[in-house]
Amino acid sequence: MKTKLITTTLLLLVFLQAYGEKLPKEIKADAYYNTFSFQKAIDKYTQIESLGTEGQRRLADCYRKVHNYLKAEEMYAKIVQSPGVTKEDLFNYILALRQNGKYTEANKQMDEFVRSYPGDQRSISYKVSKKDFEKMLTNQGCFTVRNLSFNGPQVDFGPAYFNGNIVFASSRSNNRLTKRLYNWDDNPYLNLFVAKFDSGQFVQLKSFGKKLNKKWHEGPASFSNKGRFMAFTRDNYNNRSKDGSVNLQLYFSTFGGEKWSAPISFKLNSPEYSIGHPSLTEDGKTLYFASDMPGGFGGVDLYRIQRLPSGEWGEPENLGKGINTEGDEMFPFYHESDQTLFFSSNGHAGLGGLDIFTTRFEKGRWSKVKNLGVPVNGKDDDFALIIDPQLKSGYFSSNRQEGKGDDDIYSFAVLKPFNEKFKAESLRLYVLNKQNGHPIQNAAVTFCDNTHQTTADNGLVSRGVPETESCAVKAEAFGYSASGKNLDLRNEEEKAVLTDTLWLELDRKFVLHNINYDFDKWDILPESAVELDKLVVLMNTNPEIKVELGSHTDSRGSAEYNHKLSQLRAESVKKYLVSKGLDEKRIKAIGYGESQLLNRCADGVDCTPEEHRENRRTEVFIPGLGKGENVKQQKGDYSDGTQNHKKEYSSKKVHGSIFDMKVK
């Protein structure tokens, strides 16, 4: 299962520590493999001159787990030529070829797979979908896709709707004093985070709560009953399986008005297999989930289960061979009003590893499974899609190479039908800059039916026409005054596309939070990057705008030291903006040292870390518009530092001596 969250096998680790170099290399490699330390296993397997088929198989699997698909393909190519080749070896070779974009060879090998295993559901799916393969690879204009601004080098995936916001799983820091790292990829363990939707962007990222986020993996989640009931995935770290593995389990919690209740374990949970990836219907009476429990078709299957009037759960129902294959089917999302199921699979005919598929429940059965194609799917893993009630926009996860981190969350807008029952696009609304006519991206557009969409790079949102005579629409974007109008829908001709425009003017009282820093550092923090990304969009749409960056320090340290530190901070912001494509001639960066404190914390005054942090800032000033508002940021490391900037306290351990740094 994607991010199948399994911790170490303790006995094997003890065995390694006890015997060290006395073990044969392959035994040591196997031990690392069995404890999911895949990079260490790779290092050991590649030192073995004559590696057997099973060792090659494990090495190939290691490469696949760390996303080195070229090496995985190389190993599987050797394995499929060996006497001990299995059906799964051949299919994994096909997946590696797809993930490297080698579709001609992948289809050739898949034809061989079909001849050898005609009854396999993967063979059946491939034969049915083969004629549509070129269509999958060609952008049909159904979707626009955008990487969300809060993504970073960490793992972010599995979005779920929650009272107008989204909750997702992430390996980003949860501000714990002890940081636990997961063997698989040396990332921190996953926790649930919530992001608030505001002015076309997700902001105010924060932990979903200590009550639910514990020391190991949590997430993803699903919500029902207007956000008052939730199901979420968690490591079964209190009860290992017989072989020492820790599998996934499902838990439920209810919001009582002030806090979430203690999690309740799902009745099907077992230490011997995984259950996860929940999708609840709005009334909370039906749950879709993924599991590798015994009795399935192979790998991970999709199930649903009904909640009885007593409040207990009934018996699970496997969704059947039309959906499940001998491969993995995961991350279900059931769209109630359209009776459509979205899910991810590597068993159905696809373009890479996991692809996103859709099927509708009609006349008591599921329709033919359909691959959503590019740009939603590609040669990497694409998974965990959710979509709004109107089937107009949504979010999904992907580890595509052009992303910002390992797994990123992407938004998408639906431009035209992607299934037979979907209403065609009939309203196109552009949001443009009134001063120069440039399109405004990331503008939040709200419609009369209380749905909202975010504009694409061309300033466009598209949807079906609401079934009303008129519809009030409103657009908001950072740096602009909100604007709205009432659209007259009475004269819409059948099959015609209604096109209109909203014009936004620059706001002379815009708000851009100051950029804050950790003690003695000039690195751009994630919460500051969100603010700077807003500035990038504004400056791209208004090429005449220039910006002045004024950076400051707190009072600790010498005046000479602080002046240089402030200049480094100003230039770090400038460097960030230039890295986003802005011309450096439009950006002026000045360091003011400790000369312009915002509060009482001058030399010799006893202040809290939070008070000192207010002074460590870069202020953004746009001539003609105004100055960024000074808002206290809550995140970051409130290091208390020292006055003499010794090595153990300063940025010297990261950047070298500050006096060796060159500044302009």
The alpha helices in 140-270, defined as continuous H runs, are none
Q: What is the pLDDT of residues 605-630, one digit of tens each?
A: 988 888 888 898 898 888 877 776 66
CA distances from 329 to 133, 183, 184, 242, 297 (A): 20, 25, 21, 25, 10
Spatial neighbors of 604 by CB under 8 A, at least 6 apart, are: none
Residue among 275, 259, 255, 257 nearest 267 (CA): 275
Residue among 650, 660, 607, 656 nearest 518 (CA): 650
Residues of the chain with CATH 2.60.40.1120: 427-504
Tell which wins on pLDDT, 24 or 355.
Answer: 355
Give percent of the chain above pLDDT 70.
81
Q: What is the pLDDT of residues 550-588, one digit of tens each?
A: 999 999 888 888 999 999 999 999 999 999 888 999 999
The architecture CATH gives domain 144-414: 6 Propeller (2.120)
Confidence class for position 508, pLDDT limits 50, 70, 90: low
Hey, which residues does 290 pair with through a beta bridge? 276, 302
Instruction: Map 531-573 to HEC letters.
Output: HHHHHHHHHHHCCCCCEEEEEECCCCCCHHHHHHHHHHHHHHH
Statement: residue 2 has pLDDT above 50: no
The CATH class, in words, for 427-504 is: mainly beta
Spatial neighbors of 309 by CB under 8 A, at least 6 apart, are: none
Confidence class for position 176, pLDDT limits 50, 70, 90: very low
CA distance 54 to 39: 17
Spatial neighbors of 523 by CB under 8 A, at least 6 apart, are: 517, 572
Residues, the chain: 664
**How much is the pLDDT for 658?**
53
**How much is the pLDDT for 16?**
47
Statement: residue 641 has pLDDT above 60: no
Give percent of the chain above pLDDT 90.
35
**How much is the pLDDT for 79?**
92
**How much is the pLDDT for 86?**
92
**How much is the pLDDT for 493?**
46
155 touches 170 (CB < 8 A): yes
Helix 87-99 with 69-79: angle, nearest 10 deg: 150
Q: What is the pLDDT of residues 417-428, one digit of tens each?
A: 776 544 445 688
Spatial neighbors of 24 by CB under 8 A, at least 6 apart, are: none
**How much is the pLDDT for 288?**
97
**How much is the pLDDT for 175?**
40
Spatial neighbors of 656 by CB under 8 A, at least 6 apart, are: none
The pLDDT of 599-603, averaged and rounded, is 91
Statement: residue 102 has pLDDT above 80: yes
CATH number for the domain whose boundaries are 10-118:
1.25.40.10
**How much is the pLDDT for 4?**
41
**What kind and span of H or E run contains 121?**
helix 121-129
Confidence class for position 632, pLDDT limits 50, 70, 90: low
Is the four-CA dihedral 78, 80, 81, 86 of positive or negative sign? positive
**How much is the pLDDT for 242?**
65
Residues of the chain with CATH 2.120.10.30: 144-414
The architecture CATH gives domain 515-660: 2-Layer Sandwich (3.30)
Q: Which residues of 392-430 are buried (b: 16+ CB within 10 A; e: fewer)?
A: bbbbbbbbbeebebbbbbbbbbbbeebeeebeebbbebb
Q: What is the pLDDT of residues 183-209, one digit of tens each?
A: 445 556 788 888 887 655 676 678 787
Statement: residue 603 has pLDDT above 70: yes
**How much is the pLDDT for 332?**
97
Confidence class for position 405, pLDDT limits 50, 70, 90: confident
The pLDDT of 474-490, averaged and rounded, is 87
Tokens linked to 630: 């000074």
Residues of the chain with CATH 3.30.1330.60: 515-660
Statement: residue 596 has pLDDT above 80: yes
The pLDDT of 515-519, averaged and rounded, is 83
**How much is the pLDDT for 147?**
87
Statement: residue 652 has pLDDT above 80: no
Hey, which residues does 288 pair with through a beta bridge? 279, 304
**How much is the pLDDT for 244?**
58
Q: For residue 397, give the amino acid letter.
A: S
> What average pLDDT does the structure give for the chain?
81
**What kind and span of H or E run contains 515?**
strand 515-516
Statement: residue 261 has pLDDT above 80: yes
Tell which wins on pLDDT, 663 or 595.
Answer: 595
Q: Which residues of 139-164 are buried (b: 16+ CB within 10 A; e: fewer)?
A: eeebbbbbbbbbbeebbbbbbbbbee
**How much is the pLDDT for 183?**
45
Statement: residue 370 has pLDDT above 50: yes
| Greatest mean pLDDT among 230-239, 332-341, 482-491, 531-540 | 332-341
Confidence class for position 484, pLDDT limits 50, 70, 90: very high
Spatial neighbors of 210 by CB under 8 A, at least 6 apart, are: none
Statement: residue 94 has pLDDT above 90: yes
Residues of the chain with CATH 1.25.40.10: 10-118
Tell which wins on pLDDT, 421 or 255.
Answer: 255
CA distance 374 to 139: 5
Statement: residue 18 has pLDDT above 60: no
Q: What is the pLDDT of residues 289-308, one digit of tens each?
A: 999 999 999 889 999 999 99
